[in-house]
Amino acid sequence: MSQLRMKDWRDGKVQFNLAQYHSFADVINYLNALAITYPERVSVQPIGTSHEGRQIPLIKITNKRLGGHKKGIWVDGGIHAREWISPSTVLYFIHMLVTQYDKDPQVRQFVDQMEWYIVPLLNPDGYEYSRSSSDPEIRLWRKNRSPPKCIQQSTGLFTPPRTTCCQGVDLNRNFDWFFGQVGSSTDPCSEIYQGAYAFSEPETASVRDFLQRHKVHTFLTFHSYSQILMYPFGHQVRTYSNDHNDLRSTALSAAAHLRRLFGTTYKVGTGADTLYPASGGSEDWAKGKAHVKYSYLFELRPEEQVWDGFLLAENQIMPTARETWEAVKVIATHTLAIPSVSRAPARR
């Protein structure tokens, strides 16, 4: 990496190479170092605990000295274990918000007037499992690491059924939005196993519980891959929210700004219209049940035609992160423009 590019990931105070994939422990150490170095703007807290006992870290970024009604923006990465570019991209957002505060007036506005709630690794168990071996069955693991669940399968009229046990739930089928209806499975051995019931998993329940306690205006979740910017709703084709035109125009603007940096093109639309119908997704739940204004799912690099896109090379991390940050800035600017309305506390 050239000296010019090194400035993208080193601020002189906290040393962390954003241009490589890191362990969960490295991520935790980085977040804690930021909180210690920038206490006036950064705090770190767990929002839940995974099946294997790992705390799920949330970093809050805002100017603590300024009060008032601030817009809330949620960002998460790493909900699917194998999608390593997702947490790496989210870590870059954190870096920019924290280190560019005194250098970039737009970042200062974002931090002064907003509260950023960022979870770079929502599925730490699955992520660490995917890092434990290059065996494709492990490296390409998608789900969390919930305890094995067993099903009995018939093997014939005169033979006893065969018991099969498999581990893990697809966390992006486990949210309470048309749960279990389409694009998910009741088979624990399926990659898209939805779980026993909505929010059965500690990882998804932690998201629900946090959003019920905090006012969030924008919800951003990052996946890979296919280069698609999705907005609700994804459970059925041609199914849209009442403010669909606003969601779409904001997404189109975000995709246009993303494209300007390196020419990367994104499709824009609902998940059902651009990819396939699936229920139980977090961005749909955030819009439909948590009543978030702007809710988007990014499918990051590479493009859909690449057969091994989950194995994105490290030299793609910085370009992906930098161009996606351009899109996030557009959405954050639209978030700031949401009218402030006095309202009674929500009851859920």
pLDDT tens digits, one per residue of 190-233 = 999 999 999 999 999 999 999 999 999 999 999 999 999 999 99
Stated pTM of the model: 0.93
Q: How many helices (H) and strands (E) does the chain have?
A: 11, 10
Average pLDDT of the chain, as a whole number: 94
Domains detected in the chain? 3-141+171-179+211-336 (3.40.630.10)
Residue 4 pLDDT > 60: no
Cα–Cα distance for residue pair 254/266, rounded to 1 Å: 10
The kind and range of the H/E element at 284 are helix 282-288
Write down the pLDDT at residue 67: 85
Q: What's the one-letter identity of residue 215?
A: K
Q: Is the pLDDT of residue 74 over 60?
A: yes
pLDDT of amino acid 317: 98
Please tell me the predicted confidence (pLDDT) of residue 162.
85
Segment 126-152 mean pLDDT: 97
CA dist 220 → 6, 79, 159, 268 (Å): 27, 12, 50, 15
Give residue 188's pLDDT band: very low, low, confident or very high (50, 70, 90): very high
Contact predicate 77/222, CB 8 Å: yes
Average pLDDT, integer, range 114-137: 98
**How does DSSP classify residue 197?**
S
Give the model's pLDDT for residue 68: 84
Q: Active-site residue among 203, 299, 323, 326?
A: 299
Residue 6 pLDDT exceeds 50: no
Q: Tell me the three state secondary structure of residue 102.
A: coil
pLDDT at 151: 85
As a whole number, mean pLDDT of residues 114-136 equals 99
Instruction: Please give the C-alpha separations between residue 80 and each of 55, 62, 291, in angstroms, as whole numbers.
Output: 17, 27, 24
Q: Which of 329 and 162 is assigned the larger pLDDT?
A: 329
* Choice among 58-67, 106-115, 209-218, 335-344 with the minimum mean pLDDT: 335-344
Is 52 part of the annotated catalytic residue set? no
Confirm if 84 and 21 have CB atoms less than 8 A apart: yes
Extract the runs of DSSP E, i.e. beta strands, from the chain: 42-49, 55-61, 71-77, 114-119, 149-153, 162-166, 218-226, 228-231, 267-270, 294-303
Q: 160: which 2 tokens? A: 């006893």
Q: Which residues pair with 165 in a beta bridge?
A: 150
- Distance from C-alpha of 194 to C-alpha of 152, rounded to nearest angstrom: 18
**Are the beta carbons of 174 and 200 closer than 8 angstroms?**
yes
Give residue-wise pLDDT tens across range 7-37.
445 555 899 999 999 999 999 999 999 999 9
Distance CA 137, CA 140 (A): 6
Query: Could you give the percent of the chain with pLDDT greater than 70?
Result: 94
Q: Categorize the per-residue pLDDT at 347 as very low, low, confident or very high, splitting at 50, 70 and 90.
A: very low
User: What's the mean pLDDT in 27-56?
Assistant: 98
Q: What is the mean pLDDT of residues 34-54?
A: 98
Q: What is the pLDDT of residues 271-313, one digit of tens each?
A: 999 999 999 999 999 999 999 999 999 999 999 999 999 999 9
For residue 209, give both structure tokens. 């519980």
How confident is the model over 302-342, as pLDDT tens digits?
A: 999 999 999 999 999 999 999 999 999 999 999 999 998 64
Predicted local confidence at residue 133, as pLDDT = 98
Listed in sequence order, the residues at least 6 apart from 136 whose beta carbon sits closer than 8 Å to its beta carbon are none
Mean pLDDT of 243-261: 98
